[in-house]
Amino acid sequence: MKSKINFHIHTTHSDGGKTPAEVVALLAETVVEYFAITDHDKVTGNIEAAEAAVQYGLKHIGGIELSCCFADGEIGFDESWACHILGLGIDAAKMQAELTRIEAEKDVQFRKLFDLLVADGYNIDIKRVTINGKIPARKTLSKELINKGYANSGDECYEKILNTERYRKYAKIKPTIKDGIDVIHACGGLAVWAHPFGVTRGGKREIAREQVVELLRSMIDYKIDGIEAYYHKYSAERIRLLEALADQNKLLKSIGTDFHCSSFDEEKHPEYIALRQRESIVFDVDGIEPNESIVKGLYRI
């Protein structure tokens, strides 16, 4: 069944391939009525999306996808690992103030990491890792280390260098899972665990069903509001499990496709072709009729 909701969409303000206005124009050609732009750690696309939503008669809410680290050791993960929490119905201006604070702390940490790498003999160039005078991410340092021949891939760079004991502490620049949920609540939003089977550590990984259940217990203690039960890339079996977990714990069930429409070089990255083919701006999984009650917590209907 095609859902009239999509609360997980990316734009050019993070790693998407279309502007917010272009995304809204696409949505207007579908059955979707309610949507959120949830760029990675960015809220700047919300203004353009809100204006376009009025033009097309769609209902928009402020959104974000926050990267949150496992700094509290949940399910045995250290601070180099992260999961994603959606903030839905947030006050974008308040969230931007929080992001500005986080970005300032992040730059200080990455400068320390860069200096330590140089002190340890890594011949990397500060000019190649800064944008507008700041080091934006560990990924930027990873690319420079690969460029200088210290690793052959991102996975190898994180495994052999950046995630080792000496450098791993500098990964703790994201809010923790608890802090991320608290920030979303402080900005007036609902906190929703995005694609619960997925975690990141310089690259995407999957966790087991038992780990999902265990981590959800911690998130409930942290006052999580919902989980992304209806995630377009998940099988019907996984969706049924997430539905059950949400119902058992009285959590909202969110709906999202994680739409990116991002560009890539098919020759260099053929593995992304299948992902692109599965990408959709409308949730539609055979045999799944999504419970759309989450809109009641976000809209006055």
What is the tens place of the pLDDT at every residue in 246-295?
999 999 999 999 999 865 555 555 555 555 545 799 999 988 999 988 98
User: Predicted confidence band at 301 (pLDDT cuts at 50, 70, 90)?
Assistant: very low
Distance between CA atoms of residues 279 and 260, nearest Å: 8
What six digits make up the tokens of 47?
């203004």
Q: Which residues pair with 63 in a beta bridge?
A: 88
Please give the sequence-ordered ranges of beta strands (E in DSSP) within 89-128, or none if there are none: none
What is the tens place of the pLDDT at every residue in 147-175?
999 999 988 999 999 989 899 888 777 89
What six digits make up the tokens of 34?
């309610």
**One-letter amino acid for residue 123 of the chain:** N
Nearest residue to 102 (alpha-carbon basis) of 172, 159, 32: 172
Residue 169 DSSP SS3: helix
pLDDT of 222 strictly over 60:
yes
Distance between CA atoms of residues 138 and 158, nearest Å: 9
Q: Give the residue with greater pLDDT, 163 vs 34.
A: 34
Pair 86, 254: CB distance under 8 Å:
yes
pLDDT attached to residue 116: 97
Distance between CA atoms of residues 284 and 75, nearest Å: 32
What six digits make up the tokens of 20?
């917010």
Distances from the Cα of 57 to the Cαs of 115, 165, 242, 256, in angstroms? 51, 52, 31, 20
Distance between CA atoms of residues 143 and 227, nearest Å: 33
- Please tell me what DSSP assigns to residue 194: -
What six digits make up the tokens of 118?
């140089």
pLDDT of 203 strictly over 80:
no
Distance between CA atoms of residues 198 and 206, nearest Å: 5
3-state class percentages of the chain: helix first, strand second, coil last, to nearest 5: 45, 15, 40
What is the tens place of the pLDDT at every residue in 84-135?
999 999 999 999 999 998 888 888 999 999 999 999 999 999 999 998 888 8
DSSP H helices in 28-91: 46-56
3-state secondary structure 218-287: HHHHCCCCEEEEEECCCCHHHHHHHHHHHHHCCCEEEEECCECCCCCCCCCCCHHHHHHHHCCCCCCCCC
The H or E element containing residue 289 is none
Mean pLDDT, the chain, integer? 91
**One-letter amino acid for residue 250 of the chain:** K
What is the tens place of the pLDDT at every residue in 125-141?
999 999 888 888 888 99
- For the chain, domains (ranges, CATH) are 5-92+176-297 (3.20.20.140)
Distance between CA atoms of residues 223 and 174, nearest Å: 19
pLDDT attached to residue 141: 95
Distance between CA atoms of residues 43 and 37, nearest Å: 8
Distances from the Cα of 161 to the Cαs of 68, 120, 127, 147, 291, in angstroms? 21, 11, 21, 14, 44
pLDDT attached to residue 137: 83
> Taking residues 75-81, what's their average pLDDT?
89
Distance between CA atoms of residues 3 and 239, nearest Å: 14
User: Predicted confidence band at 245 (pLDDT cuts at 50, 70, 90)?
Assistant: very high
